[in-house]
Every structure is written in structure tokens, then in C-alpha cells.
């Protein structure tokens, strides 16, 4: 016969501990990689960050700003991105915690870790349109919108974008 005491010892403790786990929320208490994990439409990007070993950077203290493409945008990305080339993925990460008003205050320009710039080239305040540019050059190549801006993380900000942006 199994008593309650032996049942608890055998596995009930794990059940009790799992009930105490705090769910990841979008209120700024959790790191970027954890928050990306709560967004099913960003799973391809998150997987690439892990394969490129940039997850360590984005779990660290930061702060960082990440322009995270949706899975549909990711499917159309150049091969270097899809193959998790760390240099290509740095085109989507900036140093600092930059909300959309912070980007506007910087002249609508963000320098990415790769050295390229992302610039706001139109859209609306709620859905700015951005385009990539080589440092010191005019924006070129594809543009896309920030479709979900300002997702707060403990170590930065995520902006969900509808395209993977690289300069032409």
C-alpha cells in the first residue's frame, strides 16, 4: 500500500515545486530569451539565436534592444540568417534599452551590434517602418514595420518586426 507520505516523497514534491514556478510575463521582469520563448511566432528567430550562441548575450545583464522577426518574415530571410550566422544575427541586436520614443530621440536611427544602422523611414508612431543602412549611408534594401513595439524585458526591449532587414 502506498501512503501519502511515500507518494509525496516519490514525486509529489516535484509537482508541488512546479506549481511554484513563476510564468514568464511581458512586464519587464524576465530576460529577453525567456520572453522570446513565450512568443510562438518568434520561435525560428529564438532557435537561431541559440544556435549562434547569442542566447548567452541576451540572457546577460544587457541592456539590449532586439528587433525580432516573425516566423513568416524569418522564412524569407537570407540564408546567413536562417543558418544562424552570428555576424548576420547581430544586424538585429543593438546595445541599450531603446523604446520607440528613445529611437525617435536619437534621430530615428539605431546602431546595431554589426555596425549597420536601422532607421525609421515612415509608418505611424504605433507601427514605425524601418529600413537598414550601412553606417553613414542612406537606407537601402527592404523595409518592414515594427508590428509589436516595446516588449519590456529585465535586460532590454524587444520590437517584433515583419521583415528581416539588411542593407542592399
* CB neighbour list of residue 29: distance below 8 Å, 6 or more residues apart: 154
pLDDT tens for each residue of the chain, 168 residues long: 555 454 445 555 444 444 456 677 777 889 999 999 999 999 999 999 999 999 999 999 889 999 999 999 999 888 888 898 999 899 999 999 999 999 999 999 999 999 989 999 998 888 899 998 887 788 787 788 999 999 999 999 999 999 888 776
Buried b (16+ CB within 10 A) or exposed e, 128-161: bbbbbbeeeeebeeebbbbbbbbbbbbbbbbbbb
Domain ranges of the chain: 25-161
CATH code matching the domain that covers 25-161, chosen among 3.30.2010.10, 3.40.50.720, 2.30.180.10, 3.30.420.40: 2.30.180.10
Amino acid at each position: 500500500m502506498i501512503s501519502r507520505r511515500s507518494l509525496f516523497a516519490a514525486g509529489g514534491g516535484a509537482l508541488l515545486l512546479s506549481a511554484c514556478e513563476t510564468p514568464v510575463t511581458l512586464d519587464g521582469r524576465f530576460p529577453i530569451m525567456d520572453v522570446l520563448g513565450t512568443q510562438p511566432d518568434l520561435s525560428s528567430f529564438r532557435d537561431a539565436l541559440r544556435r549562434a550562441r547569442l542566447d548567452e548575450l541576451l540572457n546577460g545583464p544587457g541592456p539590449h534592444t532586439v528587433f525580432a522577426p516573425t516566423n513568416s518574415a524569418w522564412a524569407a530571410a537570407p540564408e546567413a540568417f536562417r543558418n544562424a550566422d552570428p555576424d548576420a544575427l547581430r544586424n538585429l541586436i543593438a546595445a541599450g534599452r531603446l523604446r520607440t520614443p528613445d529611437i525617435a530621440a536619437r534621430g530615428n536611427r539605431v546602431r546595431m551590434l554589426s555596425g549597420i544602422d536601422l532607421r525609421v523611414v515612415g509608418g505611424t508612431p504605433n507601427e514605425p517602418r524601418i529600413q537598414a543602412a550601412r553606417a553613414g549611408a542612406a537606407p537601402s534594401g527592404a523595409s518592414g514595420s515594427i508590428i509589436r513595439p516595446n516588449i519590456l524585458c529585465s535586460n532590454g526591449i524587444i520590437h517584433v518586426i515583419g521583415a528581416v532587414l539588411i542593407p542592399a
